[in-house]
Amino acid sequence: MNQLLTIKCAEDILPKYRNTPIGLLLEFHNLHRPFAIYSEAQLLVGMCMDNRKHLHIPENFSYIIRSGGANLRYSEFKVSYAISVGKIKHIALIGHDNCGMVNLHSRKQEFIRGLVESAGWTAERAEEHFTNFAPMFEIGNAIEFVVSEAKRLRVKYPKITVAPLFYHVETNRLSIVEE
């Protein structure tokens, strides 16, 4: 069972993330640590495209890939680029509460109607689009998904530290997902 660890002080950060870019991310965002100046990214953040989330971090501190549900399956070349060319050694995967990619099927009619009304699609084309792509982007439980995605990336990139984190939209705070 995965548990969310609240970060209220630096000592709340798990030892394996302390004094790493992941620990710094938590300190900058939750604890308002004063910003340092960075000329190169220190980590890669994978987070949902949801517009309600904003990280409090210094400029140039991280690469950020936003995708529905923090699903990086279809962004692996970008991940590989950040690791190989950007010399990144740490990845923070950030899921969040009230994610639209959870129970995606329940939004099928809204999705179709939105494409018909806003994009000028036919209902048939919009439904086919949903049917073809929704299964690739449905994440189920947001906490479980971010943990499974972290595990998947650890296998693919064994020398990289990957941390599953969770963003609370209402409080604008990050927690560590303890696996």
Burial class, 138, CB count within 10 angstroms (exposed 0-12 / middle 13-18 / buried 19+) = middle
Burial class, 75, CB count within 10 angstroms (exposed 0-12 / middle 13-18 / buried 19+) = middle
SS3 content of the chain, % helix, strand, coil (to 5): 40, 20, 40
At 99, is the secondary structure helix, strand, or coil? coil
Burial class, 62, CB count within 10 angstroms (exposed 0-12 / middle 13-18 / buried 19+) = buried
Q: 99 among the known binding-site residues? A: yes
**Residue pair 44/82 in contact by the 8 Å Cβ criterion:** yes
Quickly tell me which residue has 């969310």 as its tokens. Answer: 4
Q: 9 among the known binding-site residues? A: no
- Binding residues for Zn(2+) are 96, 99
Going by the annotation, the residues of the binding site are 96, 99
